[in-house]
Structure 1
Amino acid sequence: MRVAKRSLSGIIAIILSVVAALLIKVNYELNEHWLQGTLLNPMMLIAIALYLPSFGLTIYALNNRFVGLVFWSISLLIVVGIFSTNLFE
């Protein structure tokens, strides 16, 4: 049961990260430039609010704070990097 909870929290963390990255991508497409107030609008605040629980769930799933931080940081960079490029156009 304990392993199932940790696996489920890891899956939820990945889903939250992808949803937040999609919000960042949509926000970027709407503003077309990072310097047009994109860091202070409500969509970015929602994306940040989604990333914070995913960080906590990642730490819970991996049962180690340092490894969770490293894993979450790398996954954050990968997800934002993928959705910030024009791969889907």
Structure 2
Amino acid sequence: SLASWAMVMAHHRDAGNRKAGYLYIVMASFGTLALLLAFGLLAEADGNYGFAAMRMSEHTPFTAGLELILLLLGAGSKAGLVPLH
């Protein structure tokens, strides 16, 4: 994300590029935060970040829905999905 931000900001003297760079770094930070929260919920209290452990853990419907929303927002903002583009 930082390398992409640096490419956006290469022509920082243009006000439009500065605005785009600021928006890009905000969206990249938002996506990273959403993904970190989602994986934190998936790992639960024991903190096991292995995919096998995440798959075997029991989640309530609310927690599973929250994890899905956070994963979609995080990955979607990184991938540029509409309306996060």
| Higher RCO, 1 vs 2 (CA within 8 Å, ≥6 residues apart) | 1
Partners of 1:51 and 1:13 lie apart in 2 by 9
Given the two structures, how large is their TM-score scaled by the length of structure 2?
A: 0.53
Identity among equivalent pairs (%): 9
How many residues were matched structurally?
A: 56
Partners of 1:44 and 1:28 lie apart in 2 by 17
Q: Which runs of 5+ in 2 are unaligned?
A: 1-18, 48-53, 81-85
Root mean square deviation of aligned Cα: 2.8
More helix by proportion, 1 or 2? Answer: 1
Change (3 A) 1:33 1:56: closer
Q: Which runs of 5+ in 1 are unaligned?
A: 61-89
Q: Which runs of 4+ in 1 moved over 4 A?
A: none
